[in-house]
Amino acid sequence: MGEVVKLDKKAREARRKAQAARAAGDATGNRVSAGRTVAAIAGGLILVLMIGVTFFL
């Protein structure tokens, strides 16, 4: 019976850690996707500027 309690405690602890890791991953994931969006917009603007400069010069 004591072994079952130990396993239950370990499972609960693992579940808690996984939930915390998931929450941390969600927080960083949102930040990363926002950064990726900004980088994509900046890259697109640079590309448009380079094409514009090439044709106007």
Q: How high is the pLDDT of residue 56?
A: 79
pLDDT on residue 31: 59
- Per the document, the length of the chain is 57
pLDDT by residue (tens digit) across 9-54?
777 888 888 887 777 766 655 555 677 888 999 999 999 999 999 9
DSSP string, 5-39: HHHHHHHHHHHHHHHHHHHHHHHHHHHHHHHHHHH
Q: What is the pLDDT of residue 46?
A: 95
User: What pLDDT was estimated at residue 42?
Assistant: 94
pLDDT of 2 over the 80 cut:
no
Which phi and psi angles does 2 have, rounded to 5°? -60, -35
